[in-house]
C-alpha cells in the first residue's frame, strides 16, 4: 500500500498561487481558453506557459499567496516611488490624499 495521495489538479484560477512538489511557488496570471494555455509566473518572476493537457498532469496544490509576494515583481523602490532614495512621497501613506479635491 502506498502513502502517496492522488489529488485532482485544481482548475487554474487567475491570481491563485500554487506549489509544485519541489516547493516552487507560482501564480496563474492568465488563462487563454481559445489557445487552451495557462500562463504562470513563478515567485522569482520567471514566466512560463503550459497547455491545458500539461496542467492536468502537474503535481500541484493550491496555497495562499506568499507573505512577501513581491518577489515575483521585478521592481526597485524608485520604480514605485519615482526617486532613487526610495522615499515615500508626502501623502502617499494617506489614500485620501490622492482623491480629487474641489476646494
Band (pLDDT 50/70/90 cuts) for residue 95 is low
Read out DSSP for 31-64?
EETTTTEEEEEETTS-EEEEEHHHHHH--EEEEP
Cβ neighbours around 58 below 10 Å, total: 17
Alpha-carbon distance of 18 to 28, in angstroms, equals 8
pLDDT of residue 51: 95
17-64+75-98: which CATH architecture?
Roll (2.30)
- The overall average pLDDT reported for the chain is 75
Domain boundaries, the chain: 17-64+75-98
The whole-number average pLDDT for the span 31-44 is 93
Given the C-alpha cell 485532482, which residue does it identify?
Answer: 8
Indicate whether 96 pLDDT > 80: no
Hey, which of 52-56, 68-72, 87-91, 96-100 has the most confident mean pLDDT? Answer: 52-56
Question: Is the model more confident about 26 or about 70?
Answer: 26
pLDDT of residue 14: 92
Band (pLDDT 50/70/90 cuts) for residue 10 is confident
In 3D space, the residue among 76, 9, 64, 72 whose CA is nearest the CA of residue 41 turns out to be 72
In 3D space, the residue among 67, 70, 69, 60 whose CA is nearest the CA of residue 24 turns out to be 60
pLDDT in tens, 42-53: 988 899 999 999
Alpha-carbon distance of 35 to 17, in angstroms, equals 22
Amino acid at each position: 500500500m502506498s502513502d502517496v495521495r492522488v489529488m485532482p489538479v485544481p482548475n487554474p484560477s487567475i491570481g491563485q498561487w500554487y506549489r509544485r512538489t519541489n516547493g516552487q511557488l507560482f501564480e496563474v496570471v492568465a488563462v487563454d481558453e481559445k489557445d487552451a494555455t495557462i500562463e504562470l509566473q513563478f515567485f522569482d518572476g520567471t514566466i512560463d506557459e503550459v497547455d491545458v493537457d500539461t496542467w492536468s498532469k502537474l503535481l500541484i496544490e493550491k496555497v495562499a499567496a506568499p507573505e512577501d509576494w513581491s518577489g515575483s515583481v521585478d521592481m526597485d523602490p524608485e520604480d514605485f516611488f519615482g526617486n532613487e532614495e526610495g522615499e515615500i512621497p508626502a501623502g502617499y501613506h494617506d489614500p485620501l490624499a490622492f482623491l480629487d479635491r474641489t476646494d
